[in-house]
Chain A
Amino acid sequence: MSDTVTFRVHRFKHGDAASHHDSFEFEPGPRSTVLDALTAIRRTQDPTLTLRHSCFHASCGTCGMKVNGQEVLACVTNVRELGTGEVTVDPLGNAPLVNDLVVDMGPFYARLNAVERPLVRESELVTGARTASGIPQPLRYEDCIECGICISACPIAATDPEYLGPAALAAADRVREEPRGGDVPFVLGLADAPHGAWRCHVAFECSEACPSNEAPASHIMQLRRSLIGRRWRALLAQPVGAGR
C-alpha cells in the first residue's frame, strides 16, 4: 500500500443543489487520526472544508462522523488502522445537514433536554477524595458525550423523524435509575409512547457504535422492562370493573 491515502470527503455548501465528494491526498504518520488528516487538508489544501471538533481526545463528542460507512469519533480513528488506501468521510446521518461534515445537533440536544437528565452521576461521586489545594472536588459525569453517533447508526431513525432515539432513551433510563430530583413519571411517560422505547427494533447498532460505552440499546431494554412493570402496576391498581 502506498503511504499516501486518498480522502473522499463529503462536500455541501448552503445553496448547493446536491452534495458531492472531493478527493484529497494525505500522507498519514503511524499515529495520524482521521481528524488530523481533515484538519491538515483544511490547513494546506482547502480552507473551506467545514467540520466540528474540539478536544482531540474523545471527550467532547463533536467530531462524530462516518468513516468508510461507520460512525466514529474522527479524533480517535487511526488512519493506518483503517487499512484502506481510500477513506470516505461523510457527516452523521439522520440529522439536518448544515455544511460539508457538519450537521445540526439541535434536534438531538432537544431530545436529550426533554428527558431532563442531570449531567453529574451523583451515585459514583467520591466525596472523600483528596484534591490538591485550589482544585475543586472532581465530578463524575454521565457516560454519554452527546456525539449523536447512536442516532446516526440507528436504522429506525432513518424512517421515524419523531423517534426519541438511543441517546435520549438511555438518558431517560438513567433518570429512572438515579432520579436526582428528576420527574421520573414524566420521563417514563415520554419513553412509554409510540415513538419512544417501543420503537427500537433491537439492532444494537447504537451500542456497537457508541464511543463511550454508554450501551444505549441495553438501557432501552432495561427501560422497557421498567415500563412493562409500570403498566402492570397501573392495570392491577385499577378497581375491579373499571373501564367497562
Chain B
Amino acid sequence: MTDRTAPTGRTALPDATAPSRARRRGVAGWVDVRGRRLGGWAFILNRVTGLGVLFYLYLHLLVLSQLAIGPGAWDSLLKNWFLNPVFLVLDVVLLAGLLIHGLNGIRVSLVGFGLVVSRQKALLGAFGTIGAIVLLIGTLMFISHGG
C-alpha cells in the first residue's frame, strides 16, 4: 500500500522509494510522439535540440582546438570540411536546433513564470513563425556563402 496516514493526521504522499509497478516509460516517455499534441511536440523538440546543442558545444571546442596547431591546420579544416555541402546542410540543422531550443526556451520561461499563460499556443505559433523566417534567411545565407 502506498497510501498511509501521517502522524499529523494528514494523508502522506506515496512512498516513492517503494517498489513501483507504475510502468513509467522513463526517458522514452519524453520522446514518445504517439498521441502528442503541439505542446508535447515542443517539449520533445526542446529535449532533442538541447542534447544536440550540447553535443555541438563539445564538437565546437574540439574544432577550435585546431587553432592551437596553427593557421595552416585551421585553413585546411575550413577549406576541406566546412565548405563541403554536407557541412552546409549540418549548419542549417544546427541553426534550426538553436532556433527551436532558444525560442521555445523563451516561451517556456515566460509561460513557466505565469506570464501569457492563456496565450501560450499563440506564443508558440508566433515563435514558430519567427524561427521559420530566420531559418529561411539563414539557409539562403549559407547557400550564398557556400556557393
Contacts and interface: CB of A to CB of B under 8 A. Distances in A.
A158 B114 contact: no
Nearest to B4: A110
Q: Which of A116, A162, A186 has the most CB of B within 10 A?
A: A162
Q: Which of A104, A111, A155, A228 has the most CB of B within 10 A?
A: A155
A109 B1 CA distance: 12
Contacts of A158: 24-30, 32
A110 B13 contact: yes
Given A95-B22, A161-B16, A221 B111 contact: yes
Interface in B24-59: 24-30, 32, 34-40, 42-44, 46
Contacts of A56: none
Contact of B37 (A68, A116, A205, A224): A205
Nearest to B37: A208
Interface string A92-116: 0111110000001011011101101
B29 A203 contact: no
A189 B32 CA distance: 32
B113 A228 contact: yes
Contacts of B42: 203
A200 B145 CA distance: 42
B60 interface: no
A78 interface: no
A95 B23 contact: yes
Contacts of B27: 158-159
B13 A114 contact: yes
A225 B20 CA distance: 33
B39 A107 contact: no
Interface SS of B by simple majority: loop
A109 B3 contact: yes
A107 B2 contact: yes
Contacts of B111: 202, 221
A110 B39 contact: no
Contact of B23 (A96, A190, A222): A96
A205 B3 contact: no
Contact of A202 (B12, B30, B34, B43): B43
B144 interface: no
Given A110-B2, A110-B13, A218 B117 contact: yes
B14 interface: yes
Interface string A181-221: 00000100010000000001111110010000000011001
Interface of A: 66, 68-71, 93-97, 104, 106-107, 109-111, 113-114, 116, 153, 155, 157-159, 161-162, 164, 186, 190, 200-205, 208, 217-218, 221-222, 224-225, 228
Given A96-B23, A155-B44, A208-B39, 17 more contacts: A94-B23, A94-B24, A94-B29, A109-B3, A157-B29, A158-B24, A158-B30, A161-B20, A201-B108, A202-B39, A203-B40, A204-B120, A205-B37, A208-B37, A217-B117, A218-B117, A225-B114
Interface of B: 1-3, 10-14, 16, 20-30, 32, 34-40, 42-44, 46, 107-108, 111-114, 117-118, 120
7 nearest interchain CB pairs?
A: A158-B29, A225-B114, A69-B35, A204-B39, A69-B34, A203-B43, A70-B35
